[in-house]
Chain A
Amino acid sequence: MAVAPMDRLAPARRRARHEQPRAGGRARRNRHLLRLPFYLLSLTMVVPFYWLVITVLKPPTELSRIPPSFVPESPSFVNFHDPEWSAERVNPGHLQGVFQRFQVEFGFWRFLFNSVLVTTAITVGALLICSLAAYVIAKHRIRGRRVIFLMIIASMMVPWQTTLIPNYVIMRNLGWLDTYTAYIVPGLAKAFVLFFLVQFLQSVPNELIQAARVDGAGEWRIWWQIVLPLLRPALAAMSIFIVLAEWNNFLWPLVIVQSDEMANLPVALARLNSYFGAPDHQGAIMAGGFIASVPTIVFFLIFQKYFTRGIALSGLKG
């Protein structure tokens, strides 16, 4: 827990550092000069994102213009849905919006739904399963826990791609290809999450758990009513990692998904990629990317504090 006190005190400390009288204005000016390249570097962040957003807003005719416009001249949402486009007749200057491009029920919404469903299920499931196991490994003296824990730590050195092919074969043999089960079940036992939770629990005193045991509470109840609430900061940190990883998961869905219906957002975006050749299709492609990015960006902006704290916690402890 090296981070929690730091989080509270660091700003005050840094403020003190900043307000200290310096040898002269020269040192401070030098500091700002040193910062200048990094302010310029931030342009490389702003410009591509700005380019993405204006691309989404430009209609197809404006997109194929050379040189490109930097302020959309007739901003519209036709890249999401173009009412003028129809499958029967050709209407020059009108292309399918991203919601019109997939022949599946609910169109692009379906992929958003798939991504949300899979991400939520894995996050909740993994946190429950891993916290249960972490409680046993950290607080129960059972035979073999050292061996189990060492095995789990060792498995963190295995790149998951090593198990890609056998897992694909397992999914095929079980008939799970192209199902939510194939998305969710293999992603539940996360060694990294278990390791982190065990470490966190070791810094939690045993007294609370002992007291509950003396009061006659069963182990399941202790886990649910005492351990889970104690783990809350660690669970918050881990949920951020899991959500980001699963939201962006691409290679595994690419292997297990066959139909259009079961694609998650990354796989759907990769399929949009086949329209890449022409500039006028970029609006719809970027609109798809925009939809895939907004949920996690909003999630981040709301829980910003927890993001930085969670990353710091994992980095300093892991």
Chain B
Amino acid sequence: MAGPVPIGGRLRRVPVDRLRRYGTSYAMLLPFLALFAAFLLWPLANSLYLSFTSFDGVNPAVFTGLDNFAELAGDARFRHALGNTALYVVASVVLGTLLSLGLALAFNGPSWPHRIMRTLFFLPSVTSSIALMLMWKWVLFPSEAGLANTIVHWLGGSTVPWLATPSLTIPILVLMSVWGGMGYGMVLYVAGLGSIPEEYYEAARIDGASTWQRFRHITLPLLRPVTTYVVVTGLIGAFQVFEAVYIVFRGTNNIGGVLDSALMIVPYLYDQGFTHFKLGYASAIAWVLFLIIFVLSLVNLRVGRAMKEL
């Protein structure tokens, strides 16, 4: 996620037939550029165009100006989806980052208990994500046949309809996301910890710095690039949440679950585009998502630059 990198200034020009070599160069670039243009650039421009139309997938698109965006601004479900997503994103990224860092600090050693722990926490990252969603759905089964309700009964409680309780929806989504993602962040932090020179700690120890002071003034600042990476990729990934909602919370005729409590941006996009075939309207939603993530990326660049100047 770093900014533009200066490219190949050190290249010396070689005396070869310039035209022929350049022809080869463009030929080698062609497969990538052609696919890139066909399935990214053109669709991107196309989706911007569609967002100003009432395209329904069957009839030719009719230009309607800013109607879709005006409708979005007044769409209570969309605002609800934005609110849900914001809450989910903030909670899952903050919790996930803290736990990733904690795990990395706890288990960064070479001994076998640490290695087993690292493998264990990383396991969800390499397990089929839909399988994990189905597993959670079964764990949260609304009767005592489910694991969560069995435990509730051991503790003397009564059966909880986990997935049908709107106030529990976001916490459950956050829990699933943090549970599945903290091992990945941990691996990044372990690598970051390993690249901090041991000499810094020795010098600090000689100066009489406490464990907390060493953590606060050596570990944390030197881990900042890793933290930025974990937070930004976490934010971007969380804004795009879809599977958890689609698999775990979707009802028979409502993608957002009970009272739309699990409605998020991408599920709403899917719902409008592929259930209601309002492809123009869904394109407008897609562009709102794009703008959010674009701004986040810019903020990342700006914050990164400011950090460097400090």
Question: Do these two chains really belong together in a complex?
Answer: yes
Q: Which residues of A come within 8 Å of B, CB atoms?
A: 2-3, 6-7, 10-11, 13-18, 27, 34-35, 38-39, 41-42, 44-49, 51-52, 55, 63-68, 129-130, 132-133, 135-143, 145-146, 148-153, 155-159, 161-170, 185-186, 188-189, 191, 194, 198-199, 202, 206, 210, 213-214, 218-220, 223, 244, 247-248, 250-251, 254-255, 265-266, 269-270, 272-273, 276, 279, 282, 285-286, 288-290, 292-293, 296-297, 299-301, 304, 307-308, 311-312, 315-318
Contact flag A315-B226 (CB < 8 Å), given A7-B194, A14-B108, A27-B211: yes
Contacts of A133 in B (CB 8 A): 28-29, 31-33
> How many positions in chain B have a CB within 8 Å of any CB in the partner chain?
112
Contacts of A250 in B (CB 8 A): 129-130, 242-243, 246
Name which of B40, B125, B225 has the most chain A CB atoms within 10 A of its CB. Answer: B40
13 contacts between A and B (CB under 8 A): A39-B117, A52-B131, A63-B145, A130-B32, A157-B293, A162-B286, A163-B47, A185-B35, A202-B8, A218-B24, A250-B130, A270-B130, A317-B2
Q: Which chain B residues in 272-301 approach chain A with CB under 8 Å?
A: 273-274, 279, 282-283, 286-287, 289-290, 293-294, 297
Contacts of A223 in B (CB 8 A): 28
Contacts of A145 in B (CB 8 A): 7
User: Is B247 touching A273 in the complex (CB atoms < 8 A)?
Assistant: yes
User: Is A6 touching B35 in the complex (CB atoms < 8 A)?
Assistant: no
CA distance A140 to B16 in the complex (A): 12
Q: Which chain B residues in 184-238 approach chain A with CB under 8 Å?
A: 184, 187-188, 190-192, 194-195, 198, 201, 211, 225-226, 229-230, 236
Contacts of B43 in A (CB 8 A): 163, 166-167, 170
User: Is A219 touching B287 in the complex (CB atoms < 8 A)?
Assistant: no
CA distance A141 to B11 in the complex (A): 8
CA distance A198 to B28 in the complex (A): 14
Contacts of B5 in A (CB 8 A): 198-199, 202
Contacts of A47 in B (CB 8 A): 147
Does B308 reach chain A (CB closer than 8 Å)? Answer: no
Contact flag A3-B44 (CB < 8 Å), given A45-B121, A49-B123, A133-B33: no
CA distance A199 to B294 in the complex (A): 22
Contacts of B80 in A (CB 8 A): none
CA distance A169 to B247 in the complex (A): 25
With both beta carbons as reference points, the residue of chain A lying nearest to B108 in the complex is identified as A14
Q: Which residues of B come within 8 Å of A, CB atoms?
A: 1-2, 4-5, 7-8, 10-14, 16, 21-22, 24-26, 28-29, 31-33, 35-36, 38-44, 46-47, 50, 57, 99, 102-103, 106-111, 117-132, 134-139, 141, 143-147, 150, 153, 179, 184, 187-188, 190-192, 194-195, 198, 201, 211, 225-226, 229-230, 236, 239-240, 242-243, 246-247, 266, 269-270, 273-274, 279, 282-283, 286-287, 289-290, 293-294, 297
User: Is A159 touching B11 in the complex (CB atoms < 8 A)?
Assistant: no
Contact flag A14-B188 (CB < 8 Å), given A141-B13, A165-B286: no
User: Is A315 touching B135 in the complex (CB atoms < 8 A)?
Assistant: no
Name which of B137, B286, B289 has the most chain A CB atoms within 10 A of its CB. Answer: B286
CA distance A207 to B297 in the complex (A): 36
Contacts of B191 in A (CB 8 A): 3, 6, 308, 311-312, 315-316
CA distance A137 to B8 in the complex (A): 9
Majority secondary structure, A binding face? helix
Contacts of A67 in B (CB 8 A): 144, 150, 153
CA distance A260 to B197 in the complex (A): 55
With both beta carbons as reference points, the residue of chain A lying nearest to B111 in the complex is identified as A18
Contacts of A13 in B (CB 8 A): 194, 198
User: Is A297 touching B134 in the complex (CB atoms < 8 A)?
Assistant: no
Contact flag A286-B269 (CB < 8 Å), given A49-B123, A149-B7, A315-B229: no
Contact flag A2-B128 (CB < 8 Å), given A38-B103, A165-B283, A189-B35: no
